[in-house]
Structure 1
């Protein structure tokens, strides 16, 4: 049995992982879905006082409660607080799984690494407003899309502008990347990054680093929860392909 800690991306809370968590638990695992400060049922908290460090603190607290051997799953923006939390307590995490996202380096923020999202364009006060829709390319069923629109909450702006603090200790932890093909990410793209020779991409080809591809879009917990749960279970056991495996 494995313990999975599931951290969502922008605008979402623990609710986004309900189907994945249920499937993991049906397989005999423990699944802990996280709502970060200022989001979902925690949206009443003071957004002005919540930054990326607040989210990293929240993930670190959940990891400490879960204990050693945890599989930490980070979707999209969730990579930032998850990497920061693992950097503090790498001994608690057996594997860090990135779902349709890359990993930041010290001093980077989400708005710096993902300028194409233009997150600050519609900022209202201390929060980034919820987008009007999930693009159809991501394959989210209508009912799940409607639920997302109903439950999504604005994102505290400092969580996407505050730079992540890292010592590099997290790099010792085995990782798995789950690429969602409709987003344009795949193993071939990861190989091209590694081939640049840039130090930040060296980890992609290390032993213990594996990859999966899913034929869906950026929200697999909504569009393909059973398939994602299966991949997470296999990742926990070290499954998946290496960067240059055929």
Structure 2
């Protein structure tokens, strides 16, 4: 049995993982999906990581840390603090030491990549994030959006190097927010990894939870 520690992206909440949690639990695993303190003006990346570690508590089993999108800035901090078997970034914003989240978009070339892919002109969240998510689920997700008012975005990423934890990167092949080609290159350049790929949108945990669970559990085998 493993404990999957699921870290949501910007403006999101732990609810975003609820379908994936059902799939993982049906396979005999435990899950933790806390809300990050992104609505706290005083919270920084350390507070984000501490909130996740506190939610994990004394749970048993191998620890698998999964960070989605902006959650990739927190996931390595958590993986370093817990006895982690595996760190997985799902369409994750891979940070570099000293890089501020607010600067990541330009420093990685993401802004240009989105423009070249035609994604910067997609303003409708039902098209940019949820285009393959059932409408009722997508509306529920939007209703749960939370403000990003913390100071984490302006804080340099604090680790001096990537943690010594086995790492995997999953890109969403039909993502209309982060181009697949951009993440293929970033995963190689920053982590030396060939990205694994899953069909689906940026919110693949809602649109394809079974397939995502199969991939995550498969890493343990």
What is the TM-score with the length of structure 2 in the denominator?
Answer: 0.80
Aligned match of 1:185: 180
Aligned in 2, Cα 1:158/1:213: closer, same or farther, shift over 3 Å? Answer: same
Aligned match of 1:114: 105
User: Does the Cα contact within 8 Å between 2:37 and 2:150 map onto a contact in 1?
Assistant: no
In structure 1, the residue corresponding to 2:87 is in which secondary structure?
strand
Aligned match of 1:17: 17
Superposition CA RMSD, Å? 2.6
Aligned-partner Cα distance in 2 for 1:188–1:114: 12
Gap runs ≥5 in structure 2? 112-122
Aligned-partner Cα distance in 1 for 2:147–2:100: 18
In structure 1, the residue corresponding to 2:58 is in which secondary structure?
helix
User: Does the Cα contact within 8 Å between 1:83 and 1:103 map onto a contact in 2?
Assistant: no
Gap runs ≥5 in structure 1? 118-130, 206-210, 238-246
Equivalent of residue 231 in structure 1, options 212, 215, 218? 215
**What's the CA shift for 1:66?**
3.3
Q: C-alpha deviations, 1:177-204, integer Å up to 9, x for none?
A: 11101222269934x864xxx6x444x2
**What's the CA shift for 1:107?**
0.9
User: Does the Cα contact within 8 Å between 2:169 and 2:187 map onto a contact in 1?
Assistant: no
User: Does the Cα contact within 8 Å between 2:70 and 2:93 map onto a contact in 1?
Assistant: no
In structure 2, the residue corresponding to 1:148 is in which secondary structure?
helix
User: Does the Cα contact within 8 Å between 1:60 and 1:86 map onto a contact in 2?
Assistant: no
Structure (1 or 2) with the greater helix fraction: 1
Aligned in 2, Cα 1:133/1:59: closer, same or farther, shift over 3 Å? Answer: same
21-30 or 97-106, which deviates more: 97-106
User: Does the Cα contact within 8 Å between 1:84 and 1:164 map onto a contact in 2?
Assistant: no
Q: How does 1:94-133 map to 2 (within 5 A)?
A: 94-115=85-106, 133=125
Q: How does 1:133-172 map to 2 (within 5 A)?
A: 133-136=125-128, 138-168=131-161, 170=163, 172=164
In structure 2, the residue corresponding to 1:73 is in which secondary structure?
strand
Q: C-alpha deviations, 1:119-143, integer Å up to 9, x for none?
A: xxxxxxxxxxxx8624257422211
Structure whose alpha-carbon radius of gyration is higher? 1
Aligned-partner Cα distance in 2 for 1:168–1:136: 32
What is the TM-score with the length of structure 1 in the denominator?
Answer: 0.73
